[in-house]
Structure 1
Amino acid sequence: MRDTHIPTIGELHAFAACARTGSTTRAADELNLTQSAVSRSLGTLEDRLGVLLFRRVKQRLVLSDAGRAFRRDAERILHELNQAAVGVMAFGGQSEVLRLAVLPTFASRWLIPRLREFRLIAPDVTFDIVSRLEAIDFDNEPFDAAIQRSNLRPANTELLPLMEERLVVAISPDLLGGQHLPSDEELSRFPLLQQTTRPSLWLDWFRDAGNDPRSILRGPRFEHFDMVIGAAISALGVALVPEVLVEPEIAAGRLIMASERRLVVSSPYSLIFPAHSLEIEAFVAFRNWLEGFGTHAQATGNIRQVT
């Protein structure tokens, strides 16, 4: 049975339009309704809530204190309903949709370029992919799985390691200016690009090299590795980034490796998912496809591990 105090969608639309326009007539024009229909919806809503949402001042509707408090929530609810509807419409005729939360740069640089391969084996499956840096609450968020570092694994979830995160130092040839590759001590005198959500990466690098991290020259800060890589290409500084994310730029010569050393982070990129996702046929196919890539552990260079 419907709670009698919960407004209808029509009442919320009428209220929001009146709040924007200050007039039932203009609200009616905006909503393509009659003025009497908007007035009835507004009156019904005020009766339902038991409060006056507007004061009538010289033929103009002015929000009451209750109306101002209610407007924010009403507009948020209407926006969220619209977003939900648009999201469902975007799936079109696809019968199987996998909802994934993925680290933003890993999604754009590794996962998305490979999805065409998965589509060849599962043409009826489509994706709803959202970028997320924080852990996923699978009990309260509509995701089937996440691709993140394993340290973001929530309790009571399954985990499939995909590949190590191997950090490398990359520098633009323009910033190097034809000079020899810098030593770790020389490297500390370059602007060192920072990743906002992981500010200790350069500290780990220089500690591993035996250098005093207090002497390093910190450069601009960026939220995503994508931004860090772009800044390095633009010669704004030196990047310390996962090798798998910067391979295209290294191969094309837009960036070069400034050191043979690599740091392996102890939390690998992983597929994280609740057990009930294994009941979804499309997810099982996706999981098996990812598993085929295995764990990348190249043997080149000097490799050290950090947590």
Structure 2
Amino acid sequence: MRRKVPSNSALLAFEAAARHSSFARAAEELSLTEGAVSRQISRLEVFLGVALFQRVGNRVRLAPNGTRYAIQVREILDRLERDSLYVMGQPIDGGSIDIAAIPTFATRWLIPRLKRFQDQYPNITVHIAERMEPFILTGSGFDAAIHFDHPAWTGMHLHHLLEEVLVPVCNPALLAGADADISLDKLPRLHRRQNPDAWQLYAEEVGIVLTNSAVGARYDLHSMLIEAALAGLGVALVPRLYIGAELEQGRLVAPWPDSKTTAKNFCLVLPEPIELSEGPLQIFSKWVLHEARGLTP
């Protein structure tokens, strides 16, 4: 059965005319004559069986049906353009994959290692997008996700990557002149907004007393907490796996014990068993698992 879809030229003419509220300006944008634009829109109105514009003399304005339709057409054309540019940017003799990842994990752990992947597999392009919350992978447009272990991934195939172990860190200047025991209760503490009770859980685990565990500035991302700690704003409770370079360079110090209570597991989430995936996805999956285990593929 033939789809009831208007011609692309008619939709382009309508969208431009709706955006400019002018057939003449739409014609200028599309390098057409004003008459050609008018004819395209007339054909579209006949095809749809509704008036999209109200014509008053030489002026036009969108009719109510036209206003709603213009919004929908603009969204569709924008998406079609994005998808077309995406396909145009794919390697001719290689492949590509789309990975959804927690933003700080992507910027602090995954992306710094991707040069090794690129050197080994130059014909595979890895696209990365951030996703803070679990989502339905099937039909999302992503080939895989790197996220926390979560019940929302039921039905997917999870492969353990790393454990997120939190540790308090700060700029060493913050401890200048501090007592030998470096009491956390006397230092400004920084919080991740999504884990408001993390400091209290940490205090209970290591056996210290915090007069008010909730006091302190709040940030959305661990990457923000790390930058705040580097700036000397306070002590941040952040994953050790994100701050290896800063600790090695002495830009951050961690004189307090790690926390196990607040640890989470990072997983590679796949829609099917890794053995069944083919090509670029299987190659990337095996590579990232080896990287997480500190092995050379």
TM over 0.5: yes
What displacement does 1:276 show? 6.2
Give, as a single letter, the amino acid of the residue that structure 2 aligns with 1:93: I
Distance 1:180 1:197, change over 3 A: same
Identity %: 34
Q: Tell me what 2:147 maps to.
A: 148
Q: Tell me what 1:284 maps to.
A: 282
Q: 1:205 aligns with which of 202, 207, 231?
A: 202
Distance 1:63 1:229, change over 3 A: same
For 1:174 and 1:57, how far apart are their aligned partners in 2? 72
Q: Tell me what 1:114 maps to.
A: 113
What displacement does 1:140 show? 1.5
For 2:289 and 2:54, how far apart are their aligned partners in 1? 63
Q: 2:251 aligns with which of 250, 254, 258?
A: 254
Provide, for residues 97-116 of structure 1, a one-character-per-residue CA deviation record: whole Å limited to 9, x for no partner: 12111111111111111122
The residue correspondences of 1:15-164 to structure 2 (distance < 5 A) are: 15-151=14-150, 154-164=153-163
Distance 1:280 1:18, change over 3 A: same
For 1:103 and 1:126, how far apart are their aligned partners in 2? 19
What displacement does 1:153 show? 5.3
CA contact (8 A) 1:188 1:217 kept: no
What displacement does 1:257 show? 0.9
For 1:293 and 1:281, how far apart are their aligned partners in 2? 19
For 1:11 and 1:188, how far apart are their aligned partners in 2? 68
List runs of 5+ in structure 2 lacking aligned partners: none
**Count of aligned pairs:** 293
Provide, for residues 214-245 of structure 1, a one-character-per-residue CA deviation record: whole Å limited to 9, x for no partner: 71253333222111111111122221110000
For 1:279 and 1:48, how far apart are their aligned partners in 2? 44
What displacement does 1:196 show? 2.8
For 1:268 and 1:156, how far apart are their aligned partners in 2? 18
CA contact (8 A) 2:172 2:251 kept: yes
**What is the CA RMSD across the aligned residues, in angstroms?**
2.4
Q: Which moved more, 1:282-291 or 1:237-246?
A: 282-291
For 2:224 and 2:80, how far apart are their aligned partners in 1? 32
1:238 corresponds to 2:235: yes
CA contact (8 A) 1:189 1:216 kept: no
For 1:7 and 1:53, how far apart are their aligned partners in 2? 14
For 1:113 and 1:163, how far apart are their aligned partners in 2? 16
1:220 corresponds to 2:217: yes
Give, as a single letter, the amino acid of the residue that structure 1 aligns with 2:78: H
